[in-house]
Amino acid sequence: MSPLLAVDNLSKLYGARVGCREVSFALWPGEVLAIAGESGSGKTTLLRCLSGHVPASSGKVHYTLRDGRSVALDEMSEAERRLLMRTDWGFVHQDARDGLRMGVSAGANVGERMMAVGERHYGRIRATATDWLKRVEIAEDRIDDSPWSYSGGMRQRLQIARNLVTSPRLVFMDEPTGGLDVSVQARLLDLIRGLVKRLDLAAIVVTHDLAVARLLSSRMMVMQQGQVIEEGLTDQILEDPQAPYTQLLVSSVLQV
């Protein structure tokens, strides 16, 4: 088996400023990796490079397609990359407004990816959207409502449904529970964990919240000043952090 995503010496510089530096790792099918760090640590920059939203300054990212071919992201045509993004990949933004089409109904939000890959049967789109709303615990009778009428937690769940409808194999998540109430966060994390397991999804979750990393990921990387300073199994890192910075993070956050 080859890794789903193979990252080799990836760096992103903004002029003299370092976004992230010399990051290498492999992500395996079905694996959930958390990238933890404080704001400014480079974790979001790394996520944006990995997901093809911004070009890296140097280094390579290889992705293994469904047919087994390995492709370098920077060597794909824009058309191929965009197709990948709306079929085999998902991206869950921290602010659901960035990931949803706020001007159209919830059903249209879920159905859009189906239409983007050529589905032209309204009844089938509708049935699939209904099914997906149920799977993210949104009442069926809210299907024609605008996301503006949804709560923060519902919007986030809608965003997840919108991404998963094409059965992607890899989902990028940028602080998926950020900005939500604690009780809402817990429910959302449970939902994400359940979906990821059931669908055998691989995911890369960027978070400043080690509790999120603990609940969702099997493996994690800790970033500081653009570099990965510690990497390993999530449970091990949280129980026995090696780097002083990680020790500080763990002791300050996980006491709750």
Partner 1 sequence: MNAPAYNFAYLNEQTKRMIRRAILKAIAIPGYQAPFASREMPMPYGWGTGGVQVTASVLTPEDTLKVIDQGADDTTNAVSIRKFFVKTAGVATTEKTEEASVIQTRHRIPETPLTEDQILVFQVPIPEPLRFLEPRETETRTMHALEEYGVMHVKLYEDIAQYGEIATTYAYPARVAERYVFDPSPIPKFDNPKLDGCPALQLFGAGREKRIYAVPPYTRVKSLDFEDHPFEVQRWDQSCALCGTRESFLDEIVMDDHGTRMFVCSDTDFCAKTRGER
Q: Which of residues 91-120 bind partner 1 (CB under 8 A)?
A: 101, 103-105, 107-108, 111-113, 115-117, 120
Does position 141 interact with partner 1 (CB under 8 A)? The reply is no
Which residue, 10 or 158, has its beta carbon nearer to partner 1? 158
Contact segment (CB under 8 A) with partner 1 among 3-11, 122-130, 165-173, 197-205 equals: 122-130
Which residue, 51 or 128, has its beta carbon nearer to partner 1? 128
Cα 71 from Cα 65, distance rounded (Å): 7
State which of residues 16, 66, 141, 144 lies at the interface with partner 1 (CB under 8 A). 144
C-alpha to C-alpha distances, 29 to 64, 90, 230, 232, nearest whole angstrom = 10, 14, 22, 17
Contact at 8 Å (CB) between 69 and 24? Answer: no
Cα 118 from Cα 234, distance rounded (Å): 40
User: Contacts for 181-184 with beta carbons within 8 Å, 24 or more apart?
Assistant: 181/152, 181/153, 184/151, 184/152, 184/153
Q: Give, to the nearest 10 degrees, the angle between helix 152-164 and helix 182-199.
A: 10
Does position 123 interact with partner 1 (CB under 8 A)? The reply is yes
Which residue, 85 or 186, has its beta carbon nearer to partner 1? 85
Does position 40 interact with partner 1 (CB under 8 A)? The reply is no
Contact at 8 Å (CB) between 153 and 189? Answer: no
Does position 82 interact with partner 1 (CB under 8 A)? The reply is yes
Here's the x/- map for partner 1, 149-188, by CB under 8 A: it reads as ----------------------------------------
Q: What is the closest distance, in whole angstroms, from the C-beta atom of residue 134 to partner 1 in the complex? A: 17
Cα 156 from Cα 94, distance rounded (Å): 8
Q: What is the closest distance, in whole angstroms, from the C-beta atom of residue 118 to partner 1 in the complex? A: 8
Q: Which residues contact 92 (CB under 8 A, 6 or more apart)?
A: 99, 156, 159, 160, 163, 171, 172, 173, 174, 176
Does position 78 interact with partner 1 (CB under 8 A)? The reply is yes
Does position 225 interact with partner 1 (CB under 8 A)? The reply is no
Q: Which residues contact 63 (CB under 8 A, 6 or more apart)?
A: 4, 5, 6, 70, 71, 73, 84, 170
Does position 127 interact with partner 1 (CB under 8 A)? The reply is no
Q: Point out which residues bind partner 1 (CB under 8 A).
A: 78-79, 82, 101, 103-105, 107-108, 111-113, 115-117, 120-123, 125-126, 143-144
